[in-house]
Structure 1
Amino acid sequence: MGLLDKIKQLYIGYSKVSYNGKKYGVTRIDFNQGKSFKVYAEELGGTDFISLNYYVTSSSEKLKPCEMPNEKVVHFLNNFKVLND
């Protein structure tokens, strides 16, 4: 499953996920008819956060982490679980 598929597993707007045994509040906003995405996740009761933009062009897809390593964002996207509470 690609990164775009993982992003689309997040609800548009606000939701909660589990990641590394902790709960995160996540906001997903879609732009440009689903060609651009902003994701911001913040550890609930903690200090960790994940912030990224993702762009889909006619020739490629680009992940742009916001002031953090690419690996941290990819690990989050590949390992979060959406919570239904």
Structure 2
Amino acid sequence: MTTAELQAFLAAFDALPLGAFTGLAGGRKYAVIRQDLAAGKAQKLVARELGGGDYISLNLYRLASGARLKPCEMPAEKVVRFILDLNVME
């Protein structure tokens, strides 16, 4: 991931609300939970497609050396594309 792509991803991720919300990505509706852990040094997001089988899960670590994205058993590209496309519904 380039620096520009990482910055776009982080900006989109940081704009998402903490807690549970409903979102729309790729024309599909998701139940999403975003959490801050370790005083904001680690963050987690889990999204489950409503009425479908898609699932997104990631951990994001904010280290002194920079942000580190760790998707859970899926390609980073899928996670990045999802976050960049995700629109909060409520």
For the criterion TM > 0.5, the same-fold answer is yes
Structure with a larger share of its residues in helix: 2
Aligned pairs, number:
84
Residue 40 of structure 1 pairs with residue 46 of structure 2: yes
Instruction: Pick from 75, 78, 88 the counterpart of residue 82 of structure 1.
Output: 88
Q: Could you tell me which residue of structure 1 aligns to residue 72 of structure 2? A: 66
The letter for the 1-side match of 2:9 is L
The letter for the 2-side match of 1:8 is D
Percent identical among aligned pairs is 44
Q: CA RMSD in A?
A: 1.1
Distance 2:49 2:84 in 1: 17
- Output the TM-score relative to the length of structure 2: 0.87
Structure 2's unaligned 5+ residue stretches are 1-6
Distance 1:5 1:20 in 2: 19
The letter for the 2-side match of 1:56 is R
Structure 1's unaligned 5+ residue stretches are none
- Output the TM-score relative to the length of structure 1: 0.91
